[in-house]
Amino acid sequence: MTDAALRGGPAAPRVVVIGEALVDIVHRGTGVDEAPGGSPANTALTLGRLGRRPTLVTRLGDDERGRRIRRWLEESGVEVVAVEAARTSTATARLDAAGAARYEFDLQWELGADPDRNAALAAAADIVHVGSVATVLEPGDAQVAALVRAARADALVTYDPNIRPSLVDDPARVRGRVDDLVALADVVKASDEDLRWLAPGRDAVEVAREWVARGPALVVVTLGAQGAIGVTADGDVVIPPVVTDVVDTVGAGDTFMGALIDGLLERGFAAAAVRAPGGGIRSADVAALLERAARAAAITVSRPGADPPRRHELDAARTA
């Protein structure tokens, strides 16, 4: 039971993130270092640092890398629920001169033979977030999709495709899986790079508008140094970039996603209200959500690795 419930007040919203946690092996100009990562894990970490105490449903080895990931997450208030793997997955990131990362993966993904525990966690959540490799890599992708279908009866669903082309051996299957999850989601965040891969030759904003017509209340397209665009049934909201000195971009999109989810929670958005006729997410809220998420991502890119801000840092950036 939460502290709020013990005091007689409303319980804090429950956030469940489903997806991979791994070790990033980062090749920089100054050498090579290892750090915990994985897109869903980074999103959960961001939410934990913003005070949300999320649960991450993942897969980890009982090895030093796996134990390091657990400590890293738990120190930021993330509950880790993990299926045991033979070894902890890795992603090798090679940074270019601008700090952008290119990834190579050693990753296996599935959530075990007994789905009951994970289904119970997802069913009790107020928000369920899924994304990245876990939503498209067999055999676990089907398990993730099943959890989303079961959870969305009561939970707000958020989704970040975060496409990793180096892991894709069947583009048509992956695009189909993304289409299925877009239709199940209430809020989708995708980068312009994701959309160039998912819909080659298409305008990213036009694709986002088509996605909104299929179900989501909000689709956000992040444009890196060009800012971001939020698309709803009411129209488009454009926010400018946050100017900062970039050290590297590792974890930037995941920080944006975590801060976006946190903003949805702050504004009280719930599945029933967002999906109801006449509901949805208004333009003024979209602008505020995106501006705050962009500030959080700017803090992350200003320092090495996936190191999202804590709430006091994000609040201070708003007043700077």
Closest CA to 37 of 97, 88, 110: 88
- Domain of 185 in residue numbering reads as 3-319
Q: Percent of the chain beyond pLDDT 70?
A: 94
Long-range contacts of residues 310-316, Cβ cutoff 8 Å, at least 24 apart:
310/49, 310/50, 311/49, 311/50, 311/51, 314/50, 314/259
Output the pLDDT for position 290: 97
Q: How far is CA 182 from the centre of its chain?
A: 14
Mean pLDDT score of the chain, rounded to an integer? 91
Burial call 177-195: b when 16+ CB within 10 Å, e when fewer: bbeebbebbbbbbbbebbb
| pLDDT recorded at residue 2 | 40
Single out the residue of 277, 281, 259 nearest to residue 269, CA to CA.
281
115 pLDDT tier (thresholds 50, 70, 90): confident
pLDDT at 99: 66
pLDDT value for 103:
77
Which residues have CB under 8 Å from 114's CB, separation 6+? none
Mean of the pLDDT values across residues 9-29?
Answer: 85
Per-residue pLDDT at 15 exceeds 80: yes
Q: For the chain, what is the domain count?
A: 1
* 42: nearest Cα among 236, 267, 261: 261
**CB distance 54 to 267 below 8 Å:** no
Euclidean distance between CA atoms 82 and 306, whole angstroms: 21
CATH number of the domain that 309 lies in?
3.40.1190.20
CA 168 to chain centre: 19
pTM: 0.92
Assess whether the previous peptide bond of 139 is cis (omega < 30° from 0). Answer: yes
